[in-house]
Amino acid sequence: MNLHRRWSRSRACATALLAWTVAACGEDAAPAGGAGSGGGNGASAGEKDHHGTGVVTALGEQTVAGMNVRASRDGAGALGVEAPIDVWVNGGTAGLAAARFWIGTEDAKGSVKAKAVIEADKWHTHAEVPNPLPSGSRLWVELETAAGAKHLIGFDLKN
């Protein structure tokens, strides 16, 4: 088999695997309490996640700049791995230009900021859990409005 044919076959397999991974992540297991775009949405403790990493841990609800924000993470929060994160904002995702999440300290030193994408009515990404995890680490959610204003909220990891 010539090199071009091998490369094409490998590329096709890699593309199919990537498409399957993205599609699997996009499967929205609607959290208990409703998944509407209004307030009151979010995960309930003990709910099964859609990533196969364990249960969903509700991290709480806070208000910033008139937005009610609720967060959850999937899995056990093991160090050095990615944690699937979901964030719901009252009123849905309209009016927000971007959402970034990271686990660690507020200044993000030693952490990797992950830009979230919209899945149904929530923001979703996989945030890297630092190893070692700095003392006082939290899930940090930075919401950027269409006007460019940035609002930061920290959620307890509930490990």
**73-103, pLDDT tens digit by residue?**
998 778 989 999 999 999 677 789 999 999 9
Count of alpha carbons within 13 Å of 87, Cβ hemisphere only? 33
Q: What is the number of domains present in the chain? A: 1
Q: How many CB atoms lie within 10 A of CB 14?
A: 10
Q: Which residue has the tokens 């890297």?
A: 128
Higher pLDDT, 62 or 50: 62
Higher pLDDT, 43 or 157: 157
Instruction: Return the pLDDT at 51.
Output: 54
Residue 8: pLDDT over 80 = no
Mind listing the pLDDT tens digit for each residue in 15-56? 333 333 333 454 443 333 333 333 334 444 444 445 555 689
| Amino acid symbol at 139 | L
pTM of the model: 0.69
Q: Give me the phi and psi of 129, to 5 degrees please.
A: -90, 115
**Domain span at residue 119?**
3-156
Signed CA dihedral, 21, 99, 86, 136: sign only = positive
- Answer for the pair 133, 102: CB distance below 8 angstroms, yes or no: no
